[in-house]
Structure 1
Amino acid sequence: MPTTEIETLDQLEEVLRAGRPLHGLRLQDLDLTGPVGARLLARDAHGLVVLGGVLTPELEHALREQGATIFPSAPSAPVDPYRSRLYAPTELYAGLHDGGYAATPDAQAYAWAQDPGLRHDAFVTLLRAIHDHSMSDALDELLVARRTVGVMGGHAVERGTPAFADAAHLGHTLAGAGLLVATGGGPGAMEAANLGASCSDPAALDRALDLLAAVPSFRPSVQAWAETAVQVRDSCLTEPAATPRSLGVPTWFYGHEPPNLFADAVAKFFSNALREDILLARCDAGIVVLPGAAGTVQEIFQIVTRLYYAPEDAGLPPLVLVGRDHWTGSTPVWQPLQAMARGRAMEPVVHLVDTVTDAAELLTAQVSRAR
């Protein structure tokens, strides 16, 4: 029997009202202490799986007796592993003003991920895997009927620099063309692209760039960097759009890269390998790669591997490298990339351009043709 994930009490109420069997249902992070949960007592719960949430002792005992599988809540975990929705960036930074960055769920989750005493704890490993599955599932729901463009680039790009402003204006232009702008969710070029995409007003974007320049980097203080971003969110950004324009997909694997506060939605993962694969696979409208170092180069060749082995009729998204001097000189990626592309299906979709304006024009023209 196929499984069905139930993420709200309304969904569960609908199932119970229709008289559907509970076998195959996955109840995810629900408060079952009320009347809807009590109605489960009268049903055969064999094959039901309850992922976290809140149950009365009576209900938990009855469900186990009937053959349900119940994954216990995890109060010691700094994040809810069973959550059914993506994060808002402010959730990850809760408590920043009162306790500093170390007190935030984001910093605590990184410490939890790195704790050597938990490295071989099977239950903790399971909780992290369930969390990442939930993130992936919520991300799929967000991306239904959305065209997504990825913007990759170095985390060391500082606020107040031309490179930061370029990335912000790129994100703004791409989001204005109706694309969901996805980044690795960290600082630097990623923060800039998320900011530009989330900020629909050009004048407000320019004000935000000026204000952020007061704290150029998250080094040496994540606290000051994040607090400046909170102030800019409050003063320059309007209420989040009903349809998100900006997505961050960061990881707790990189504790030295705090997540930025400008994505409309954040899918944060414990597994970096899973996170990278998910991010790159979902950028169906193309990927723009701004100048970066080792991490950015790794992402380029992960993308190239996908393109290289794709079938002839796959409808490949464009890969656009920005910065001719960078990608042919100081970080000479373009030459081997060209050699690999020659004669293959990927050859016409691989581009090297000089500026972010060139990249935006290339991608927005493709969007217009697709319409």
Structure 2
Amino acid sequence: MPSLQRPVSARVSAVPVGWRPSQEVRYPRAESLAAAAGREVEDEATWASLLRSPAPLRGLRLQGLDLRRDRELLLSRDDLGGIVVLGGRLDEQVEDHLRAHGAIVFPADHRAPVDPYRARLYTPQELYAGLAEDGYDATVDARAYRWFEDATVRHDAYVTALRAIHDDAMSDALTALVQGRRVVGVMGGHALRRGTDEFAAAALLGHRVAEAGSLVVTGGGPGAMEAANLGAWACDEVVLADALHAVARVPDFAPDIAAWVLPALEARSRSGDVPQLRSLGIPTWYYGHEPPNAFAQLVAKFFSNALREDLLLAHSRDGLVVLPGAAGTVQEVLQMATRLYYEVDLVDRPLPPVVLVGRHHWTDHLPVWPLLQALGRGRRMGGALQLVDTVDEAAALVADTVCPQAPLPDPRRPVGVASVVGNAPAREDPP
């Protein structure tokens, strides 16, 4: 066997590298985007019902609850093995009783700027509380970013665990919120300036998609993301025009985030919110230079950008519109292309459309379109790809079916994984 006697380098180092057709391995993703009833208990009413029922409590996950309420009922129970208590409030006697009967208690951390165990999404008003009085640096959003960035805790195992728990809880709440809704993602660059025709066009896109009954989901930041959230939030074109005019006086979020956010918060306050949920943002503290926009009605904000990106694309299950952007937007396009290229889970229905807006941008300036076409050649993915020039064309491709819109959830009520005992009323004192 003379070939085995020659070194590998002599055989292949000068061989031209190219693509050869081969049989690909097909495999399903281990991904669940459905909220299923389970062991997680996230509101006091459900917990009180469980305590009063004869059903065993073993194995429950109690998230952010005040266990000092109904404490006598809890102290009378001994079927507590495998219960995991995630944050919340409890006194020494309750904690000792839980531990003595096999429960695991994860303590809260009063130094954390966010509740790692919260069971609901944020509102922009929560993230920007105190902005007008004390400036951006005093807000929850800014303090959470500093906590994330602080080198003294970046490699602290406990803080890392708390951030991971926070993101898992946020993922649960997000999954429960979008379940049963028609969801269309809109992506694009953060550099798009208020007051431009392009910003107004992106807002009109969000408005058209929301009017057709879809929940508009963006990366939750400035630029094209803010424009799409603004348009989706606006209940009609009069409100849309007023909001565009109001925010145009501060075109960019740099160098003054507070000056950029305040006109948006004021515009929302003047017009009031529509009763339906039409607009959602999924930003990240990983990009601390990108503050969340104030037009997303609810905000799922993550410490992990990788998780945030994946969920943003996974939940855009009824279509994705990509406006012009730079490296971050290209990354999202290619991540979605990877999903479509290997898609094996949607064999009974068409793949969701992926619509790139701006022929010149995506074919000449950043030639992503030819690459997508090459990847989609001969695959189901090819039929899902669209390239258009206007937001009208894009809206028609992803919003051609009118759907009923679901009501906006009570921001005080947890919207995480379905409770184990039906629907409970909203709690009166949000943590």
TM-score category (smaller protein): over 0.9
Alpha-carbon displacement from aligned partner over 1:186-213 (angstroms, at most 9, x marks no partner): 0000001001101112101101101110
CA contact (8 A) 1:49 1:70 kept: yes
Q: Provide the TM-score with structure 1 as the length reference.
A: 0.96
CA contact (8 A) 1:175 1:245 kept: yes
Q: Which runs of 4+ in 1 moved over 3 A?
A: none
Q: 2:75 aligned with 1:41, yes or no?
A: yes
How much does 1:24 deviate? 1.0
Alpha-carbon displacement from aligned partner over 1:67-92 (angstroms, at most 9, x marks no partner): 11111011100000000000011100
Matching residue of 2:89: 54
Q: 2:323 aligned with 1:283, yes or no?
A: no
Q: Provide the TM-score with structure 2 as the length reference.
A: 0.83
SS in 1 for 2:57: coil
Q: What is the alpha-carbon root mean square deviation over aligned residues?
A: 1.4
Cα separation, partners in 2 of 1:23 and 1:150, compared to 1, 3 Å: same
Cα separation, partners in 2 of 1:31 and 1:63, compared to 1, 3 Å: same
CA contact (8 A) 1:240 1:264 kept: no
CA contact (8 A) 2:284 2:303 kept: yes
C-alpha separation between the residues in 2 aligned to 1:105 and 1:251? 13
CA contact (8 A) 1:38 1:59 kept: no
Matching residue of 1:196: 231
How much does 1:18 deviate? 2.1
CA contact (8 A) 2:210 2:278 kept: yes
Matching residue of 1:92: 127
SS in 2 for 1:346: helix
Alpha-carbon displacement from aligned partner over 1:92-129 (angstroms, at most 9, x marks no partner): 00111121101000001001001111122111011000
How much does 1:14 deviate? 1.7
C-alpha separation between the residues in 1 aligned to 2:359 and 2:402? 26
Q: 2:144 aligned with 1:146, yes or no?
A: no
Matching residue of 1:293: 326
Which residue among 301, 324, 339 is the counterpart of 1:268? 301
C-alpha separation between the residues in 2 aligned to 1:204 and 1:99? 29
Matching residue of 2:391: 356
Higher helix share: 1
SS in 2 for 1:235: helix
The structure showing larger relative contact order (alpha-carbon pairs under 8 Å, at least 6 residues apart) is: 2
Q: 2:338 aligned with 1:309, yes or no?
A: no
Alpha-carbon displacement from aligned partner over 1:123-165 (angstroms, at most 9, x marks no partner): 1011000000000000111011101000000000010001110
CA contact (8 A) 1:155 1:186 kept: yes
Which residue among 201, 209, 214 is the counterpart of 2:249? 214
C-alpha separation between the residues in 2 aligned to 1:215 and 1:97? 16
Cα separation, partners in 2 of 1:37 and 1:3, compared to 1, 3 Å: farther
- 1:101-140 alignment runs, 5 A limit: 101-140=136-175
How much does 1:368 deviate? 5.4
C-alpha separation between the residues in 1 aligned to 2:262 and 2:242? 16
What letter matches 1:184 in structure 2?
G
SS in 2 for 1:340: helix
Q: 2:51 aligned with 1:21, yes or no?
A: no
- 1:325-340 alignment runs, 5 A limit: 325-340=360-375
Alpha-carbon displacement from aligned partner over 1:217-244 (angstroms, at most 9, x marks no partner): 10111010011111111123x2342x31
Residue segments in structure 2 that go unaligned for 5+ positions in a row = 1-36, 404-431
Cα separation, partners in 2 of 1:121 and 1:172, compared to 1, 3 Å: same
What letter matches 2:159 in structure 1?
V
Matching residue of 2:288: 255
SS in 1 for 2:155: coil
Number of residue-to-residue matches in the alignment: 364
C-alpha separation between the residues in 2 aligned to 1:140 and 1:51? 19
C-alpha separation between the residues in 1 aligned to 2:321 and 2:258? 30
Residue segments in structure 1 that go unaligned for 5+ positions in a row = none
Which residue among 218, 224, 230 is the counterpart of 2:259? 224
CA contact (8 A) 1:185 1:266 kept: yes
Aligned sequence identity (%):
57
Alpha-carbon displacement from aligned partner over 1:309-343 (angstroms, at most 9, x marks no partner): 11371631100000011111111111111111111
